[in-house]
Amino acid sequence: MRFSGKACIVTGGGSGIGRATCLQMAAEGGRVVVADLRQEAAQATVDQIHAAKGEAIAVQVDVGDAKQVQAVVDAAVKAYGAINVIVNDAAMMTFTPILDTTEDDFFHVIKTNLGSVFYFSKYGAPHMPAGSAIVNISSVHAHATTQNVVPYAASKGAIEAFTRGFSLEMAARQIRVNSVAPGAVDTPMLWNNPNVKSGAEKVEGAIGKPEDLAAAICFMASDDARFVNGTTLVADGGRLDIL
């Protein structure tokens, strides 16, 4: 029971990797704040946790909006008194060449994927006691990518740099900050990707389950990873070789 009594915020908790992470943390005693743009999806995760006698609340949030992120932090502190774990999982992709990408579209991706990490770090960390952990979800696209997903790849590369730098700032407070970079995982985000549909992005032979990533994320968020800080765990089934 690695998360016994611990308050865990998981963004993107209404689907895929985020949902699997919520379920795993709750199964290990975590008190989970399931945060998602889609309230019904977040509530469905909470219902699953309650059905298994776990503890969770659902909060609707656009993670790219500072005020809404502050409201999630307030809700978590009000419900559970502190924050022990933050998993920044929610993200979005676009599929347009840079020359055709509008400024609004570019910065929408950056704000959602990277701004959210900044907001939850800035507003969440002050409520985290020593021994807490932040896990930012990157992607193999931070390391090797394809055409037409530059805003996404850039946001994920920046998340890993943010993670390294912020871990140094949090070291004195004994808050660990790490990233997990998934490869192809069987979620709506993977199958809605037009590059995957067209075969431009190859995924055969190395498709993980959301639970495979939840295992890696829960490791990084738990005391099992107490000597792991400021780094990125690539969990891709060896996929970088074929991307």
Ligand X SMILES: NC(=O)c1ccc[n+]([C@@H]2O[C@H](COP(=O)([O-])OP(=O)(O)OC[C@H]3O[C@@H](n4cnc5c(N)ncnc54)[C@H](O)[C@@H]3O)[C@@H](O)[C@H]2O)c1
In the complex, which residues of this chain contact ligand X (CB under 6 A)?
11-12, 14-18, 36-38, 41, 61-64, 89-92, 112, 137, 139, 182, 184-185, 187-190
Is the Cβ of residue 17 or residue 170 nearer to ligand X in the bound state?
Answer: 17
Q: Over the range 56-72, which residues count as b (16 or more CB within 10 Å of their CB) and which as e? A: bbbbbbebbeeebbbbb
Question: Are residues 32 and 13 in contact, defined by beta-carbon separation less than 8 angstroms?
Answer: yes
Is the Cβ of residue 174 or residue 219 nearer to ligand X in the bound state?
Answer: 219
In the complex, the smallest distance separating the C-beta of residue 156 from ligand X, rounded to whole angstroms, is 7
In the complex, the smallest distance separating the C-beta of residue 130 from ligand X, rounded to whole angstroms, is 27
Question: Are residues 58 and 65 in contact, defined by beta-carbon separation less than 8 angstroms?
Answer: no
Helical packing angle, 150-170 and 116-124, nearest 10°? 20
- Catalytic residue check, 152: yes
* 38: phi then psi, degrees, rounded to nearest 5: -100, 105
65 to 72, 190, 237: CA distances (angstroms)? 11, 25, 33
Q: Of residues 80, 119, 123, 152, which has the active-site annotation?
A: 152
Number of residues assigned to the chain: 243
In the complex, the smallest distance separating the C-beta of residue 216 from ligand X, rounded to whole angstroms, is 11
Is the Cβ of residue 174 or residue 190 nearer to ligand X in the bound state?
Answer: 190
How far apart, in whole angstroms, are the C-alpha atoms of residue 185 and residue 32?
Answer: 22
Is the Cβ of residue 174 or residue 186 nearer to ligand X in the bound state?
Answer: 186
How far apart, in whole angstroms, are the C-alpha atoms of residue 193 and residue 226?
Answer: 35
In the complex, the smallest distance separating the C-beta of residue 92 from ligand X, rounded to whole angstroms, is 5
Question: Are residues 19 and 52 in contact, defined by beta-carbon separation less than 8 angstroms?
Answer: no
How far apart, in whole angstroms, are the C-alpha atoms of residue 58 and residue 64?
Answer: 18
In the complex, the smallest distance separating the C-beta of residue 189 from ligand X, rounded to whole angstroms, is 3
Is the Cβ of residue 188 or residue 199 nearer to ligand X in the bound state?
Answer: 188
Catalytic site positions: 152
